[in-house]
Each structure stands twice: as structure tokens, then as C-alpha cells.
């Protein structure tokens, strides 16, 4: 008997054998007689079946026969005759018939039957969102917008039961380095997790670059679905087209960051070079911030933002001028630093503790004085890009961890200098260049001075490495513990130590022979004379130094050892006996 659909208000009727079922108005359940339910299995197995569109809500499972996935719900009609079907479903509802492949038909029907507990209207979603910065974006507004987009995407398929939101985290960070994203990954690994799928409001909030390619296998491994607006809902990890789309979105997301970075750096360079604009940050020691009128950008000026510029600080500017004058007079950085501490002048972090909360503010240090002497902004020019930001891999063996930002001092040829003075100068450009020349002259290695034992000598009392020095036109080494520091030396400290290089070199071949005779005894090169005498190749001073460096063996010099009783006082360079030199193994040293 053939099924008879009744049009009008969305009604339909099906019958199979002696029983029949009546489909009521749109949205109601299917009612059928017991006879129709009993015979339904026989009809499906031996007869032909078809479907009618009845306008039911998507996802409804009529009569327990499975979801057909036609976009609208259907009622099945069983009959012994074939009915016309939509072309896109002819393969799904093909009749096994005589000689037909019943296993294939069963597999097709089973593959479209929903799995228990995974129906779309029962999915539990975990929402993930992210906002880059908290200073220039409103996390509350951004979170609400992303949550609304995610809620609209999963409406009718489930509900959001958990939320993971990262604030102040860049998209370039991998999930393992985002606090809430890492917590979401840990929750996925829990078999008793309270969600079945993850939904995001925007692709860029979750992925960038190759992050999707790295995370998709993890979602698939734990059986967690991923829903995104760009995919129109559920992301199919096995669909080649969707994977290509996700990779393209990742490239676009990374390009957006790169393009923004290039534009910002170019704009900052132009503002420094052409306008001499103050671009933010702590003012250098000796300056303070002053008002420079309305902001050049009209929109920012309308918001009330003001431009800033540098002006000399009457309390600290004279100190900067004095530091440059002392350096030009030939005084060392250590001597200048000690004089500042002895005079009780507050160091930069103590003079402005509000902007230097991360520093102790106790005293001047050598690094602080060097930084002041090397800062070209004291010439009145605005200088930018002295310490550019670079990106280094966190772990070269695992590139998935991403990069970290590091700042390194750049060379002067990479600085961006204003074309004209932007603020009052504390030192002239000629004096600043002269100060840099003083440092360059002291570090010049083209004077013919050579220190062959540099980095190899240590003092036995304080365990410090001896520093190289030039005394009486000869290479020497010294230890002036406390003399080169920023504080006044302690009277109880050990006395200064000086030793000439030419008093150590003659003893090195013997020391090297003692170290190598036991290790190289079977392999020593032998040369016999006519009389049969065993003559070894002599060890030179260069061989001994190379041996010590290759084996990372330092030499410890301790003037306290040895018998000095009954000796007459001698000159300072003769106070230290070369016999008191002893080799010892310790941490590697460098030249």
C-alpha cells in the first residue's frame, strides 16, 4: 500500500501493512498504532521506504528511526513500492532489493544515526575568549561581545556550561602559556569533564599562525568538538577544505600582527626623527616631564590627552653635568661612583621612587654611571630604538612553545635621532662624543698589548680572577678587591695583589708536564738517540697555555704559602714568588 501524504497544514499519513501512523500538525509527535510499530521493522528490512518533508524542527527523531539530516524533520512511510526522493538523498534511501547490498544500506543508515549523549540539542559547551591588553581594551565589553557571538552560534544545539577567558594575553602566545587556555587543556584531559565541545567567538581570539594545526589533534584525541563562527558551527577535523580555511585564517591573523608592528615602528621612527616627540617611558635621570600642549592627534586632543616633553630637573640635572665633567677630566667610572656615594647624593631610583619601584634605591652602582655616560638624550636630541625588542625562541627543540620578547642594546647606527634638538641639553654634543672616545681608547686592542694568561689566574685568598693590567711596559695581573667597586674599600680587606706575567711563564711547561705525564704515558712520542737515550719533545710555553685552556684548568696564586722567614723586604713586584703558583680544577673560565 502506498503512503498518502496530506497537504494543507503540514499533515501527513503513512501506513505499512495493516497498520498506519498519523502525523499530526507541525511540531507534534508522531502517533502510530501498535500494528504499524510491529511491522515497521519488516518494512524497513524487506520493503522500500521514502520520506516526506513535514516542516518539523531540525534534529527531531520521529518514531525512533534515527535522524535523517535533511535540514527538516521527516516522517517515514513504508510501502512495497518506491516513492520519489530528493536527488541528494537517493543514495541514502536506496532499496537493497534482490541482490542489493544490504550491508551498505545498513551502514549508511547507521552512520547517520546520532550517538547516544551527543545530540546537538544536548551538547555542553565550554566558552573560550581572550583580550590582548587591559590598558587599551575593556575586558568586560570584549568578553561580553565574544560570549554573545558564541552563544548565538550554539543556540539550538546546546548551552554554555563553562567559561575560560584570558585577559592581557597576546594571540602569539601558545595555549600552554596562556593561563586560562592551559586550564582548558588540562580540563579536556579529565575523563569526567563537564563539557563536550569548545566554542570561541572569533578565530583570532583562540589561534594565530600554526596554533590550530598544533591544537586540532589534541581536540580530536580527547573527543572534544570545536565550534567557530568562521566554520559556521562545528569544525570537521577530517575535512580538507575546513583545514585549509583554518590554516589560511591563522596566516591572516599572524599577518595582522606583523603588519601592525611594522606600521607602529615606522610611525614612531618618523615622530622621533621629524618631530622630536617624547614617546613615553621613564624620563632620564636629570630630567622631568613637562606639558607640551595639546596632543598632535586631534582625536586624542579631544579626549583631553596632552603632549609631553623633557625639561631639566633642578635637583638632579647638576649631578649629570658633574658626572660628565669628571669623566672628561680622566677619572674612572668607579672613582666617580664612589664619590657620589661618599657625598650622599641620592641615586636615580631614590630620587624618583615612584617610577623606580622595582629598584632598591640604596646607592649608586657602576652600571648606573655607565648608563648615564652612554645616554645620548643628554645632548638635547630625542633618540629612539636604543634598546629594540627582539623575539627569541623559548626552546629551539620545541618551536611550539613560541617566542619570548627580549631587549638588547643596539649599536648607534640603528638609533633614530631627532633632526633638531627637542629639549634643553645637559651636555654638549662635542663633550658627549669625547666621553665615548675615552671609553673606546681604553678598550682599544690595537696597541700591541697582549695578555697571554688572561682568565687563567685566580687569587687563593678571595678566589677572584685576576684582572689584566699593564705595568712598567710589561703585562701583569692584579687583584684590587674593593678598589674598583662603587663603595669605599673596607680597611680589613686583603691587600692588593700584583704579579708580572714574565715571572709565571717559565714555570708553566713544568706544570703542564706534571699534569700530562700520567695521562699520556702510553702515547708519548719518543725519539731515541744512537746511545739509546729516550728524549721527549720539549713543551713550550704556548703548549702549556693551550693545554690549560683546553682542559679548563685555572691557576691559583696564593702568596700566603711558602716560607718567607728571614727574607729582606723587596720591591712590590718581587713580593710574590712564582713557586707559589699551583694548578687546580674549578669552574670554566673565559678570556
The three-state secondary structure class of 145 is: helix
Query: For strand 30-32 and strand 19-23, is the pairing parallel, antiparallel, or unpaired?
Result: antiparallel
DSSP 8-state symbol, 173: S
For residues 224 and 205, give the distance between their C-alpha atoms in angstroms, rounded to a whole number.
18
Helix 317-328 crosses helix 429-442 at what angle (to 10 degrees)? 50
Note the Cα 248 to chain centre separation in Å.
23
Q: What is the pLDDT of residue 314?
A: 94
Where would I find the beta strands (DSSP E) of 17-122? 19-23, 30-32, 48-56, 73-79
Q: What is the pLDDT of residue 525?
A: 53
Q: What is the pLDDT of residue 548?
A: 85
For the chain, the structural domain boundaries read 12-111, 120-253, 311-438, 457-562+569-583
- pTM of whole model > 0.85? no
Sheet (strand 555-557) strand order? 457-459, 555-557, 581-583
For residues 417 and 381, give the distance between their C-alpha atoms in angstroms, rounded to a whole number.
7
Q: What is the pLDDT of residue 402?
A: 78
Here the cell at position 504 is: 709565571
Cβ neighbours, 10 Å, residue 256: 13
For residues 295 and 542, give the distance between their C-alpha atoms in angstroms, rounded to a whole number.
66
For residues 148 and 313, give the distance between their C-alpha atoms in angstroms, rounded to a whole number.
52
For residues 291 and 273, give the distance between their C-alpha atoms in angstroms, rounded to a whole number.
20
Here the cell at position 345 is: 647624593
Q: Is the dihedral of CA 243, 245, 248, 249 positive or negative?
A: negative
Here the cell at position 208 is: 594565530
CATH number of 120-253: 3.40.50.1390
The CATH class of 311-438 is alpha beta
Contact between residue 483 and residue 337 where contact means Cβ atoms under 8 Å apart = no
Q: Minimal CA–CA distance to 15: which of 55, 57, 52, 60?
A: 52
**Which residues does 213 contact at the CB level (< 8 Å), separation at least 6?**
246, 247, 250
Helix (H) and strand (E) counts in the chain: 15, 24
Q: What is the pLDDT of residue 15?
A: 42
For residues 164 and 159, give the distance between their C-alpha atoms in angstroms, rounded to a whole number.
15
- The DSSP annotation for 39-56 comes to HHHHHHHHSEEEEEEEEE
pLDDT in tens, the chain (591 residues): 444 444 433 334 444 444 444 443 333 444 433 333 333 333 333 333 333 333 333 333 434 434 333 333 343 433 444 444 444 444 444 444 445 578 878 777 775 544 434 444 589 999 999 998 766 678 889 899 999 999 999 999 999 999 999 998 888 888 998 999 999 999 999 988 999 999 999 998 899 988 999 999 999 999 999 999 998 999 999 888 888 999 999 999 889 988 988 999 999 999 999 999 999 888 999 999 999 889 888 888 888 889 999 999 999 999 999 999 999 998 889 889 999 999 999 999 888 887 777 777 788 999 999 999 999 999 999 999 998 888 888 888 877 777 888 888 888 888 999 999 999 999 999 999 999 988 544 444 555 678 888 888 888 877 788 888 888 888 999 887 656 667 777 777 777 888 889 888 888 888 877 777 656 555 555 555 555 555 566 778 888 888 888 888 888 887 776 433 333 334 444 444 443 444 444 433 333
Please give the C-alpha separations between residue 359 and each of 345, 349, 368, 523, in angstroms, as whole numbers.
16, 6, 12, 58
Sheet (strand 225-228) strand order? 158-167, 123-131, 197-200, 225-228, 233-234
Q: Is the dihedral of CA 412, 417, 421, 422 positive or negative?
A: negative
SS3 content of the chain, % helix, strand, coil (to 5): 35, 20, 45
Q: What is the pLDDT of residue 586?
A: 40
Please give the C-alpha separations between residue 224 and each of 130, 232, 543, in angstroms, as whole numbers.
20, 17, 66
Contact between residue 433 and residue 378 where contact means Cβ atoms under 8 Å apart = no
For residues 422 and 287, give the distance between their C-alpha atoms in angstroms, rounded to a whole number.
13
Q: Name residue 19's beta-bridge partners.
A: 16
Q: What is the pLDDT of residue 531?
A: 55
Here the cell at position 43 is: 518494512
Amino acid at each position: 500500500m502506498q503512503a498518502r501524504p496530506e497537504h494543507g497544514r503540514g499533515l501527513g499519513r503513512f501506513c505499512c501493512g495493516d497498520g498506519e501512523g498519523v502525523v499530526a500538525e507541525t511540531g507534534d509527535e508522531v502517533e502510530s498504532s501498535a500494528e504499524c510499530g510491529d511491522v515497521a521493522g519488516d518494512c524497513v528490512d524487506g520493503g522500500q521506504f521514502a520520506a516526506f518533508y513535514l516542516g518539523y524542527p531540525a534534529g527531531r527523531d520521529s518514531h525512533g528511526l534515527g535522524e535523517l539530516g535533511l535540514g527538516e524533520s521527516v516522517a517515514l512511510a513504508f510501502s512495497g513500492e518506491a516513492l520519489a526522493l530528493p536527488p541528494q538523498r537517493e543514495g541514502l534511501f536506496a532499496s537493497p532489493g534482490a541482490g542489493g547490498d544490504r550491508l551498505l544500506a545498513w551502514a549508511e543508515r547507521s552512520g547517520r544515526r546520532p550517538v547516544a549523549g551527543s545530540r546537538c540539542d544536548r551538547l555542553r559547551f565550554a566558552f573560550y575568549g581572550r583580550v590582548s591588553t587591559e590598558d587599551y581594551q575593556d575586558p568586560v565589553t570584549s568578553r561580553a561581545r565574544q560570549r554573545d557571538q558564541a552563544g548565538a552560534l550554539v543556540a539550538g544545539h546546546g548551552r554554555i556550561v563553562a567559561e575560560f577567558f584570558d585577559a592581557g594575553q597576546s594571540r602569539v602566545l601558545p595555549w600552554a602559556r596562556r593561563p586560562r587556555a592551559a586550564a582548558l587543556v588540562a580540563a579536556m584531559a579529565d575523563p569526567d569533564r563537564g563539557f563536550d565541545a569548545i566554542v570561541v567567538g572569533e578565530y583570532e581570539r583562540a589561534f594565530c599562525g600554526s596554533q590550530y594545526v598544533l591544537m586540532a589533534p589534541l581536540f580530536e584525541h580527547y573527543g572534544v568538538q570545536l565550534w567557530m563562527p568562521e566554520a559556521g558551527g562545528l569544525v570537521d577535523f577530517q575535512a580538507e577544505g575546513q583545514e585549509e580555511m583554518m590554516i589560511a585564517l591563522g596566516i591572516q591573523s599572524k599577518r595582522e600582527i606583523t603588519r601592525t608592528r611594522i606600521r607602529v615602528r615606522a610611525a614612531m621612527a618618523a615622530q622621533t626623527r621629524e618631530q622630536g616627540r617624547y614617546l613615553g617611558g621613564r624620563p632620564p635621570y636629570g630630567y622631568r616631564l613637562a606639558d607640551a600642549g595639546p596632543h598632535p592627534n586631534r582625536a586624542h586632543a579631544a579626549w583631553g590627552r596632552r603632549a609631553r616633553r623633557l625639561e631639566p630637573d633642578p635637583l638632579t640635572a647638576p649631578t649629570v653635568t658633574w658626572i660628565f665633567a669628571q669623566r672628561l677630566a680622566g677619572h674612572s667610572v668607579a672613582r666617580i661612583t664612589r664619590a657620589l656615594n661618599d657625598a650622599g647624593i641620592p641615586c636615580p631610583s631614590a630620587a624618583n621612587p615612584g617610577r623606580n619601584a622595582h629598584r632598591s634605591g640604596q646607592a649608586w652602582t657602576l652600571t648606573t654611571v655607565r648608563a648615564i655616560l652612554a645616554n645620548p638624550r643628554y645632548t638635547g636630541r630625542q633618540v629612539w630604538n636604543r634598546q629594540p625588542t627582539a623575539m627569541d625562541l623559548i626552546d629551539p627543540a620545541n618551536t611550539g612553545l613560541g617566542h619570548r620578547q627580549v631587549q638588547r642594546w643596539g649599536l648607534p647606527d640603528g638609533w633614530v635621532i631627532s633632526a633638531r634638538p627637542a629639549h634643553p641639553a645637559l651636555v654638549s654634543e662635542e663633550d658627549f662624543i669625547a666621553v665615548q672616545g675615552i671609553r673606546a681608547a681604553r678598550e682599544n686592542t690595537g696597541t700591541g698589548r697582549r695578555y697571554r694568561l688572561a682568565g687563567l689566574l685566580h687569587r687563593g685568598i678571595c678566589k677572584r680572577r685576576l684582572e689584566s693590567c699593564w705595568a712598567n711596559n710589561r703585562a701583569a695581573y692584579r687583584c684590587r678587591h674593593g678598589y674598583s667597586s662603587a663603595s669605599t674599600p673596607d680597611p680589613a680587606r686583603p691587600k692588593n695583589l700584583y704579579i708580572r706575567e714574565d715571572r709565571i711563564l717559565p714555570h708553566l711547561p713544568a706544570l703542564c708536564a706534571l699534569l700530562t705525564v700520567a695521562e699520556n704515558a702510553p702515547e708519548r712520542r719518543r725519539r731515541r738517540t744512537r746511545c739509546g737515550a729516550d728524549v721527549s719533545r720539549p713543551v713550550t710555553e704556548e703548549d702549556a697555555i693551550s693545554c690549560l685552556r683546553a682542559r679548563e684548568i685555572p691557576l691559583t696564586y696564593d702568596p700566603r704559602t711558602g716560607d718567607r722567614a728571614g727574607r729582606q723586604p723587596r720591591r712590590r713586584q718581587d713580593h710574590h714568588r712564582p713557586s707559589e703558583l699551583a694548578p687546580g680544577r674549578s669552574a670554566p673560565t673565559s678570556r
